[in-house]
A = this chain, B = another copy of it.
Amino acid sequence: MAEQVATNITWHDGEVTQEERQKNLGQKGCTLWMTGLSGSGKSTVAVALEQVLIQRGHHAYRLDGDNVRHGLNKNLGFSAEDRAENIRRIGEVAKLFADAGLVTITSFISPYAADRDNVRELHAAGELPFIEVYVDCTLEEAEKRDPKGLYKKARAGEIKGFTGIDDPYEEPANAEIHIKTHEMSVEESVQTLLDELAKRGIISA
């Protein structure tokens, strides 16, 4: 029998479909958009959630200040215009990650409702799930935690326009998930998010 030489390289016109990606990854892509005061616990919950998802064989990635502010958005400052552009870019990148099939977890204060709503609309236009997660904690508690010493600096006037002190935090009116980190443990918070992902069929239960 003659040996058959075949490259097995075949493709179809157009994009990889969402069905092909989902079959390959065993999950759907989405964006979990965490919003809340500095010190509210966004990063703690986001880090734990990402790890648990990956332990369980899911595909997740976290966008936060460390990998975005010093990279993609390093040419932005803290003017009103730059803050809006900061969130716009993060929203666009989260949308790309969700489109790629990942559970995308963003962890930014994102204090303005209009900016968050723009990101929600971006995802809706791409038919990608957007889950707003209000990481809620009283200002008093966040200021007591003050893990980076930023509230102290803001109170001393060394930082201007600090959310909660001299710049507003606009509470989400319609967040899909409301986590109260002064009442819930990290485990409970992560479980709440896992349950939501399963309920929506993004990951298997």
> Residue A132 at the B interface, CB < 8 A?
no
User: Using an 8 Å CB-CB cutoff, how does the interface string of A69-87 with B read, 1 for contact, 0 for none?
Assistant: 0011001000000000100
- For window 22-41 of A, CB contacts with B under 8 Å fall at 24-25
How many positions in chain A have a CB within 8 Å of any CB in the partner chain? Answer: 45
In contact, B89 and A54 (Cβ under 8 angstroms): no
User: Using an 8 Å CB-CB cutoff, how does the interface string of A29-65 with B read, 1 for contact, 0 for none?
Assistant: 0000000000000000001101110110101011100
In contact, A100 and B97 (Cβ under 8 angstroms): yes
Q: What is the minimal beta-carbon distance from A49 to any residue of chain B, in angstroms? A: 9
Chain B residues closer than 8 Å to A205, beta-carbon distance = none
Chain B residues closer than 8 Å to A68, beta-carbon distance = 96
Contacts known (A63-B96, A96-B72); A9 close to B54, Cβ less than 8 A: no
Copies of this chain, whole number: 2
The A contact surface, by secondary structure, is helix
Q: What is the minimal beta-carbon distance from A93 to any residue of chain B, in angstroms? A: 6
Chain B residues closer than 8 Å to A148, beta-carbon distance = none
Which of A10-18, A139-147, A154-162, A176-184 makes up part of the contact surface? A10-18
Nearest B residue (CB) for A89? B72
Contacts known (A24-B59, A92-B72, A187-B7); A16 close to B99, Cβ less than 8 A: no
Neighbour of A50 across the interface among B10, B16, B71, CB < 8 A? B16
Chain B residues closer than 8 Å to A61, beta-carbon distance = 96, 99-100
> Residue A190 at the B interface, CB < 8 A?
yes
Nearest B residue (CB) for A15? B47
Closest 10 CB pairs of A and B: A72-B92, A61-B100, A11-B51, A11-B48, A71-B92, A9-B187, A9-B190, A7-B187, A24-B54, A16-B54
Residue numbers of A with Cβ under 8 A of B are 7, 9-12, 14-16, 20-21, 24-25, 47-48, 50-52, 54-55, 57, 59, 61-63, 67-68, 71-72, 75, 85, 89, 92-93, 95-97, 99-102, 122, 186-187, 190-191
In the assembled complex, 11 residue pairs joining A and B whose CB atoms fall closer than 8 Å, in A order, are: A7-B191, A9-B48, A9-B191, A10-B52, A15-B47, A16-B51, A20-B55, A24-B54, A67-B96, A67-B99, A96-B97
